[in-house]
Amino acid sequence: MTDKHDAPTSSPEGKPAAKKVEVDDDGEPSVVMVTGGSGLVGQAIKAYTDEKAAENETWIFLSSKDGDLRDRKETEAIFEKNKPTHVIHLAAKVGGLFANMAQKVEFYRENTLINDNIMECCRIHKVKKLVSMLSTCIFPDKTKYPIDETMLHDGPPHPSNEGYAYAKRLIDTMNRAYAEEYGCNFTAIIPTNIYGPHDNFSIQNGHVIPGLIHKCYLAKKNNTDFTIWGSGSPLRQFIYSLDLAELSVWVMREYHSPDPITLSVDESAEVPIKDVALAVAKAMKFEGKVVFDTEKADGQFKKTACNKKLRGFRPDYKFVSMEDGIQKSVDWFLENYETARK
């Protein structure tokens, strides 16, 4: 094992010297444990590593049936059983707008318990690398665009999800603290809007693309209009889950800094919701009428994220196009309609 990133003896701000962050490149066998392994991103990582796992890597994908990560003893038992050398931490208590507004205490406490148990168990068990997943929704409510990794703590999050947001922000704070105090190689990824196979296709509680896919499916089946809430003008960046999976594995293997990294398509790939809806209709072979219900609110016009940091490391990475990603997602939904979350 070597130390690629020697910490300075003192920082410009006069902070205590950080310990050296140990980086594993010794070629020894790795056991990579993925929390939240049954969800959208976990299943994408599974699909990617089934094809592209390194020879010395064993992958373990946890689901809620493997134990309650809110409980310290159960979390410790999971670490004792699996003995991970690397952890990708995706598990979280998540929910829609109304759940976040009504249960701020639970969203804060449960996520804080989960994250604290995972991080401390990683330290105790000398895990070589921990990658945790954050979200662009935890950024300050009032900010300038595009947002980047340095702006995470520049102001309060939107009041509607402040319980969830502050719990997630603490991951970033503690990644640096664990690096400084214990030399732990902990970091975080910040994806933009994710979509793909194994998503939650609920029309009420799902995200934009899976919700539109399900809605378009029903419109085609029932021979009704495909109605989209709002004008379709808001802009969003979408990342296909298999792209996020590939980049998350790259972060685990190659990116060694406690500072988070945004995993997003380029700013030029930001698209209006109208284009997304029309791409869904095309992929579904829907030939009926597409209607935009402008009586419904549009929400925030844009939430542009900057991927300059990622491009510094991966300038030539080619993302799956929105059209191809939506076609793959529609095909998966149709093939797995009976069992898909909806």
CA dihedral 218, 222, 223, 226 (to 10 degrees): -30
What is the token pair recorded at 234? Answer: 């808001």
CA–CA separation, 58 vs 84, rounded Å? Answer: 9
List CB contacts of 328: < 8 A, sequence separation 6 or more.
196, 197, 240, 320
Q: What is the DSSP letter of 316?
A: T
Dihedral sign, CA of 201, 202, 204, 206?
A: negative
Number of H-type helices and E-type strands within the chain: 10, 14
CA–CA separation, 25 vs 83, rounded Å? Answer: 18
Catalytic one of 108, 164, 178, 195: 164
List CB contacts of 73: < 8 A, sequence separation 6 or more.
none
What is the token pair recorded at 312? Answer: 């510094």
Active site residue 164: yes
The candidate with the shortest Cα–Cα distance to 112, out of 188, 40, 165, 73, is 165
* Number of neighbours of residue 81 by Cβ within 10 angstroms: 12
CA–CA separation, 228 vs 9, rounded Å? Answer: 56
Q: Which residues are catalytic?
A: 164
